Structure 1
Amino acid sequence: MAVSEVRTVAVSPAMVQQWAVDLLKTDAQLLLLRARPEWSHGDARVGDQNVRVLPGVSQLAVLDILETLADDERAVVLTDRPSDDLGDAVLARAYRQQVQLPDEWQAVPRLFAGTSVVGRDLRRLDWAATALLDHQPPGGWPRSPEPVLTAGHAVGCLLAQVLGLGPTPQLDDVTLLTSLGRRDVRAAWVAVDDGLRGHLIGWAETELGEPAALALQIAQSNEHITPLAVGLALDVLWPEDGRAPTEAQAAARVRVERFVGGTPVPVDSAKAVARFAKAAVLRLEIDDAPELGIALQQAKALLGDLDWAMGAEESTILAPGYLARVRALADALTDGDDQAVEDALARVAEHRDAGTSQAPTMAVRLHRWLATDEAPTPSLGADLQRQLSDGAWVDAAVGAVWHGSTDPDVTHAYGELLRRVRERRGERDRIAASRLRQVNAPDVEGAIGVERLLADVVAPWRRRGGALLVVLDGMSGAIATSLAAEVARLGLIEWVPAETHGRQGVVAALPSLTAISRTSLFCGQVQSGALDDEKRGLAKRFRDARLFHKNDLRSQGGAALPADVSEAVQDHAVPVVGVVINAIDDATHKNDTSAWNWDLNSLQPLRALLDAAASAGRAIILTSDHGHVVERGTEALSVPGADSRWRSVGTDAVVEGEVLVSGERVVAPGDQAVLLWRDDARYGPRHSGYHGGASLAELTIPVLVFQGATVTNGAPGWEQAAPQVPLWWNDPIRLATPVEAVPRQKPKPQRPAPSGPDALFEVDAPSDAPVAQVGLVEAMLASDTFREQKRRAGRHALADAKTAAVVRALVERGNRAHQDTIAAAAGIAAGQFGQIFAAVKRLLNVDGYSVVELDTDGKTIRLDEKLLREQFEVTT
């Protein structure tokens, strides 16, 4: 078209600003810009320089402007006159001697450092250039990562800028949803021009997806309700499982339309928004953002506004959903249906709040334990061993369930569960207490008294480079279960006696008091004493040994350990370094420990001691002098002069819940005492915890032995420990009915019973293992395919017995179980399980087919039994 026919338009301040920048780069005083000669925005400012912006309606008007400009002044003139009308006198003094056409796209590349040309995808957005010019931030737009400016970068920055987030290009759908949870962001969005909002919503749908666009639509219609809250409501209105809606739910789907643009919500869109809403919740949790709590409350209130308040109970995010799931679990526990209990726990685990309490998981573990058979034990030694391998875990679970819920229905179910557990645990305590009458019998095997701990445990281990012996005063078996797992996560390997494959149990001296049992430990004989007696006793047993008590552990500022403790641990001339940590015993007298979780942080300076000992190559032995029972509604028994859990023999008869003990391991007048074995009773005033009695929790002293992961040899008669968790801890008790059943292994022959005063208790031989589907396992091992897989593996092939043990353990548990359960059932050391499982996979996963795999949670092993039968041609 002819110049005179060029259409003139109103130009934006941003465009004029860009031309002013260009003008200042030259010697010209004037820049002529084809535009309507209308301007009300004042002069342009470029740095510290001022550029006048003036209308030029004619040649004379422009000439007049030139005449009035001082020598150091510059001007941008807006004119609708063609070049011929302006004449040479004007053009000669103008920028580039011509009238500049207002092509906004021409100005856009200069807005983004690092770019020289506008991409085609951006040019297709005919509204974008004006918006980018109008909304340019004071510091400019972010640098483009590519020479070609893309719509993704430019419009992404624009959207972030108009939302008040700053010109960041890192805007995705989840970030958008979380950002719109802020009131100031929603207010900024509502303030954006309607036309531009529409363009940005359309771009967001194409570039970021429909959920992002829907979130922006929700925000522009509901400034006071967050899109995240609406998304969480949509999550329960259109659940992922596609269940048919209830009548109330269907009605709520219609009512929610007014919050989502006033039109019916497409099912796929609703589910997509819900997915991103849940992802946004996770991100806000990580950031600890206050907007999350607001959104959760709004979502719950919104469902109420939709006349479907019950919908919140269907949510895996909202608090009512968690309570509803825990209530369903409580109902299942009351009914006693094993599968219903497991299903209910799985639903609890799906909820966002599942990690806020261990009570539901621990309650199910107690339910599983109650479902196991209670085999009789032949001796006190067996009672002590079972306390460490089973009872201590029960005690740990009780601690988590005791304060499990504030909901009356759940509290009632938990209370009934705890009553049943206490009855069963009480019967164990009663039986063990009845055997204390034979505490000095010489014909028992396996368990040792606390006075033999130095000789039977510490001495063999100190010969391997020295030992660190840490006595955690009052540590029970329950505390040891959690502490051992935490120590193992430091990279230390646990060792256990090879005969029992379980943690060593030691029995306290009687009564189970610190002054008696701890002194007996360090002196090597049952006696009462004080700190100096303990130090002399350890030094007498191990020449040059050092023992540090509470006051010896106070370090100088900036040090994790006192200098003399560190030096002793590092000095190999010191065969045994003993340390007494009183935190547990102190707490049981002063603090409510009924739901206490003991860890390394609460047992200072244990972590520093472990690090120092591992560095020095010492074996680490963690033990106690006695356990304790926790105050959980105990009955007060009025006996004058009695201690909390024991009394002297007097005129009062021994009643139910008490046991009379006597002999050389009893430190009391006449070598006799009456001990309480009931854990729900006490003498005297109430405390947070008690010891001195005859319950298994008080009598049984756990012994935990660790070495560095690089040390492969242990003391004679010790082996690397398999996971010590009971088989019911991580998985349901679900033994399959075998087709052809035989014992998994022959029982080990009994050792001859030792004689002499050092042999206190006997430990029964391991019971026969659960029977398995021998037809399937044996047929697999005998198949041609298995033999070929072993040939391919060569010398790295796993022994058949190990392969069979892993497969049997899986089959017995419905082809799915926690890796610790499999390792424990198959007798595989925890530190070796990864290597052995990899070898099992090489043998079973023929041609890459996943017969056995680690599940996505990284903890559960899955066996595809159907595929195993197909791959190995097993028809049994």
Structure 2
Amino acid sequence: MAVRPAAGRRAIEVLLESELPHAEDRRLVLVDATYEGGDRETEFTVRINGRKRRVRITEQNSPLGIVDAWQRHRSQEDPDGDSILVVTGAVPADQLGWDLRAHAVRRRSLAVDPADIVKQLFGAADLDARMAGEKWLLDALLEAEPADHWPRSGAVLTRDRAVRALLAARLGLGDTTSDTLDFDADTLFAWTRTGAGPALFAALPAAERAGLSEWLEKTVGPAAPTLLALAADQRGADALPLGALASAALAASSAEAAGFALGTLYGSALASFDALRPFADAATGVVTRWIAQAEGGGPHGNEARSRVLAVLNRADQLAADARLSPLIGTDRLLPSGYRARLRALAATLDGDVAHAEAALRELAEHQLAELNAESTDMARTAVRLVRWLNGPMPKTVSTGQAVQEHMASAGWADLAVGILSEGDTSLDTAVGEAYHRLIGAVRERRTRLDEAFARTLADWTETASQQATGGALLIENVLAEAAAPLARDGGRPLILVLDGMSADVAVQLAGELDRKVWTEVIPKPRPGKQAARQAAVSMLPSLTTISRASLLSGEPAQGGQSVERAGFTTFWRKRHRDAHLFHKGGYEGPPGHRLAPELLDTLASDDVVAVVVNTIDDALADGREGARGRWNIGDISKLSDLLNAARDYGRPVVLVSDHGHVLDRTPRGHQQTDVEGVGGARWRTGTPQQGEIALAGPRVLAGGGQIIAAWRDDLRYTGRQAGYHGGAAPAEVTVPVITVVPSADLIPAGWTLLPAESTAPHWWRGGDAAPMRAGSAPLAEKPRGRKAAPALEGEGIFMLPGRGTLGEQAVQSPLFKAQREFVRLAPTEKAVAAVLDALLSAGGKLSPGAVAAAAQAATGKSQRNPERFATVLERLLNIDGYPVLQLIESGRTVQLDKSLLQQQFLGGAA
């Protein structure tokens, strides 16, 4: 006996909606199927031709039962006389009498074909042949039809289209109205983290769950069954954390033990361990893509970061619950792995630099390194200090050399100490203690350097003057040496005096300047000397009333604003220029103005302008800086506005201080009280004691020309502040001088650009970075095993063909020579070869300034506009659109593709 089809309520409704409009007044419907609607769905209403009609369903398995049911239905009170009786059951059609069939729609039993009904629901003329035998899919489509019905599918309803529609209706995956669904592992794993998604899947009939799982496995990949099994087990929210944890377990050194522990977490959802690898790979792929989104920042990046951390922190929690944590160790994805790598790095900071470098690489390779950028950067800073500690002890030869060394290197160590002093965001006590010990070791070395500097300073101070500088740049000579060259031929410099700016603050502010707007320049160094920023020596004691007055007057002076203003005017009047000096309150704009209109009017004139900004000094005095070790341009009142105004008015800028400062980093702040003649926080008169030095000479403008100055950074004579000045430490005495121009046309004669690569010391950039020679980029790459051919006279024949560096070989190629004929104002072959070799030596990336410096070093010709020079190189080298060389990072970096260079100009030869 054939098995009769089953029909649910929706199948009956569709049948009625199809048949009743053409059934005249017949109210009996015989259905050749068994009813699956259950007792609660035996009475309902349907809308036929816009009119609601009541329906009652009865299951009968004998002719007598059908007759009795029909008679009772007719005898029931029916005011409208249009109620419908639907009889389902297993009575063969030939056993029904003609008198009964005469009352039935179509006078016979109606067959129920789910496939036909599905076609009607989707408005399709035909159905995918594969669907005919898939009862689970047909039944689910009938049961899951949305209130606004299934969308029209066209001539043929394909199986994929039907399943996509079912997923949208049942599980909220996608949109039922869409013809396509971009379905991938990201979509499926994201769905597991929705509130209702996994619960909806768990509530589906087993056959439907199995059918959807099979389809998703083919569509998404082999990870789908495990994911859906977890959802069916009501653990869908943990699918992604479990996948990340599986990846860690499979990569563990004792993978078998880790896998066993992992099996307890998965339970019955894990069909076999063979299914674990694809599931883990899919999960880590999703998390990795989310991490990339998070690294992009912005609102979407922040949301992605929250998702990533929620997933991975949950994975760590699951690992702890299953006692897996010791087995997965330093996993490259989990937060616990990042913390373990950070602790491992901290343990190396007391030892050899090679171990610290290796630990830093391990930390940076962790996939959460960028999401923990502050912690990673702090670790990188710690390793920089280890490099500094393991480097040779700088020798203090002279005061001028010492302040230059402090500006170029030791000041960066101060910056690093300031950063580490803030403490790591992980709040890990082991890491914090390691940083504390490292800071102590740095301060011990700095103490030796500071003592040597103080002794040299004392000897130098006895005779130093404007007429006998001893090779040092004096603060009273800064205007003449740094500002006056910018004012030649009608130049209009803006001098920004940042009171209290020490070397570590200066390098931070300079590093934040937009290199597309500002070009840093310095006087051309003597041959063989390294390119470096300028640094001057303050007056003594290093106080505002002495050093700032001397700076702005261009000669030793002492006094307040009136002395400064008179001295500044007199200095420039001697050079036949009008000048204006603005102090605090004079340059800040009234309500509605960012800067004072008087200042803007002056900047628009041809006069020399100076502005004194007290933010740093005020912060130190008021204690607002605290242990914070970093300063941004936005932290300095109106500095951003002043720089923007200078740019808009085409003015070069000199960023200069009057003195530096030392920060109070002692727990309670050591104060020496049993001393005489206290003149300030860091100087006094009397007899020197431990940590102090006696200073006397023409540059000592307090204490009758003889003072006692503290050189230890933890020594003070007055109440505690955030920082102090007036002593003899190089951090106080060194005066940074940073000069930038908004246009290469404003570089004064005898000056040259300073590449960004020349500003940081080699130990800051990396252990294998070499210092740059004056006016040059890093040394060109030399071929191993042979010497470069000697240079010959004449452009274009300065080397033997096929010999020399890679850059030299490239510019000798026929293709390069032909291309050069078509590029207007193309640089010389020597210049291009030097640039290529400098880029190759630097790993393929340099700033435009360094590229221009490499060309200048090779030819002696100054490249005054580095960005324009790089653009010309692009046109020269990028034949047929191949990006051999290109400006990236918004024009801040020039990048060379070595393999493309070889393919394009050397036929692929190395």
Q: Which amino acid aligns with 2:481?
A: D
Listed one character per residue, the Cα deviations across residues 629-688 of structure 1 (whole Å, up to 9, x for unaligned) are 1112254323355355432322xx223432323344333131332222222322233322
Alignment of 1:461-540 (within 5 A): 461=486, 466-488=492-514, 491-499=517-525, 501-538=531-568
Verify the 8 A CA contact 1:505 1:700 in the aligned structure 2.
Answer: yes
1:729 corresponds to which of 764, 788, 791:
764
**Native 8 Å contact 2:587 2:596 kept in 1:** no
Check conservation: 1:790, 1:797, Cα contact below 8 A.
no
Aligned residue for 1:426?
Answer: 447
- What aligned pairs does 1:276-675 form with structure 2 within 5 A after superposition? 276=285, 278-279=287-288, 282=291, 286-287=302-303, 293-338=309-354, 340-351=355-366, 352-353=368-369, 354-357=372-375, 358-374=377-393, 376=395, 378-405=397-424, 406-437=427-458, 438-439=460-461, 440-441=464-465, 442-444=467-469, 447-461=472-486, 466-488=492-514, 491-499=517-525, 501-538=531-568, 545-552=579-586, 555=589, 559=592, 561-562=594-595, 564=597, 567-568=600-601, 571-572=604-605, 575-576=608-609, 578-583=611-616, 585-587=618-620, 589-633=622-666, 635-638=670-673, 639-640=675-676, 642=678, 645-650=681-686, 653-675=687-709
Q: Which residue of 1 aligns with 2:794?
A: none
Q: Hey, what's the Cα distance between the residues in 2 that align with 1:427 and 1:77?
A: 102
1:761 aligns with none
* Aligned equivalent of 1:135, options 144, 152, 160: 144
Deviations 1:409-467 (A, max 9, x none): 44454344334433433343333333334242434476533333334333443566634
Spell out, residue by residue over 1:177-210, the C-alpha distance to the aligned partner (whole angstroms, 9 max, x if none). 2442455444343333333222222222111122
Structure 1 residues 356 and 22: CA distance shift in structure 2, 3 A: farther
Contact kept in structure 2, 1:237 and 1:253, CA below 8 Å: yes
- Matched to 2:137, the amino acid is A
Tell me which amino acid in the other structure corresponds to 2:7.
A
- Tell whether the 8 Å contact from 1:654 to 1:674 is kept in structure 2 after alignment: yes
8 Å CA contact retained: 2:223, 2:275: no
Deviations for 1:41-95, whole angstroms, at most 9, x for unmatched residues? Answer: 3535779975544438879959978998888989796768989998788659x9x
Q: Structure 1's 534 and 18: CA in aligned 2 closer, same or farther, altered over 3 A?
A: farther
SS of corresponding position for 2:477: helix
Give yes or no for contact 1:181–1:295 (8 Å, CA) kept in 2. no
Contact kept? 2:545, 2:558, Cα under 8 Å: yes
Contact 1:30 1:77 in 2 (8 A): no
Percent identity of paired positions between Structure 1 and Structure 2: 26
2:665 match: secondary structure: coil
CA distance in 1, matches of 2:531, 2:208: 72
Given the superposition, is the C-alpha separation of residues 489 and 734 from structure 1 closer, same or farther in structure 2, using an over 3 Å criterion?
Answer: closer
Structure 2 residues not aligned, in runs of 5+: 61-65, 295-300, 791-798, 803-808, 857-862
| Residues 819-828 or 35-44, more deviating | 819-828
Q: Distance in 2 between matches of 1:621 and 1:116?
A: 80
CA contact (8 A) 1:515 1:528 kept: yes
Q: Is the 8 A contact 1:368 1:732 kept in 2?
A: yes
The question of 1:237 aligning with 2:258 is answered: no
1:228 aligns with 2:228: no
Work out which structure has the larger RCO, using CA pairs closer than 8 Å and 6 or more positions apart in sequence. 1
Instruction: For 1:780-859, list aligned pairs within 5 A.
Output: 782-784=800-802, 785-786=809-810, 787-788=812-813, 790-794=816-820, 796=826, 799-800=829-830, 803-804=833-834, 807=837, 832=866, 839=873
Q: SS of 1:315's equivalent?
A: coil
The 1:770/1:414 distance shift into structure 2, 3 A limit, reads farther
Q: Alpha carbons of 1:244 and 1:416: their partners in 2 closer, same or farther (altered >3 Å)?
A: closer
2:227–2:236: 8 Å Cα contact kept in structure 1?
A: no
Rate the CA distance shift 1:593–1:62 in 2: closer, same or farther, 3 A.
Answer: farther
Q: Give how far 1:250 is off.
A: 5.5
Unaligned runs of 5+ in 1: 736-742, 749-765
Mean alpha-carbon deviation: is it higher for 187-196 or for 565-574? 565-574
Q: 1:37 to 1:205 in 2, by over 3 A?
A: closer
For 2:888 and 2:604, the matched residues in 1 are separated by 44
Change in CA separation of 1:565 and 1:62 when aligned onto 2, cut-off 3 Å: farther
Deviation for aligned residue 1:597? 2.3
Q: TM-score, normalised by structure 1?
A: 0.78
Aligned residue pairs, count: 828
User: 1:851, 1:867 within 8 Å by CA — same for their partners in 2?
Assistant: no
Q: Which amino acid aligns with 1:341?
A: A
CA RMSD of the aligned region, Å? 5.2
Structure 1 residue 620: Cα displacement: 3.2
> Are the equivalent residues in 2 in contact too, given 1:803–1:840 (CA < 8 A)?
no
2:543 alignment partner AA: L
Secondary structure, counterpart of 1:127 in structure 2: helix
Return the alpha-carbon distance in structure 1 between the equivalents of residues 872 and 72 of structure 2.
Answer: 88
Counterpart residue identity of residue 767, structure 2: P
For 2:83 and 2:580, locate their aligned partners in 1 and report how far apart those are by CA, in whole Å: 89
Residues 756-767 of structure 1: pairs in structure 2 closer than 5 A: none
Amino acid aligned to 1:229: P
Contact 1:496 1:502 in 2 (8 A): yes
Match of 1:738 in 2: none
Shift of 1:527: 2.7
SS at match of 1:386: helix
TM-score w.r.t. the length of structure 2 is 0.75
Q: Secondary structure at the match of 1:391?
A: helix
Q: Is 2:539–2:547's contact at 8 Å kept on the other side of the alignment?
A: yes
Q: 2:736 aligns with which of 702, 719, 723?
A: 702
Task: Look up the SS of the partner of 1:202 in the other structure.
Answer: helix
Residue identity matched to 2:688: V
1:595 positional shift:
3.5
Over 3 Å counting, the alpha-carbon distance change for 1:347 and 1:596 in structure 2 is same
Counterpart AA for 1:43:
F
Aligned partner of 2:57 in structure 1 is: 55
The 1:37/1:306 distance shift into structure 2, 3 A limit, reads: closer
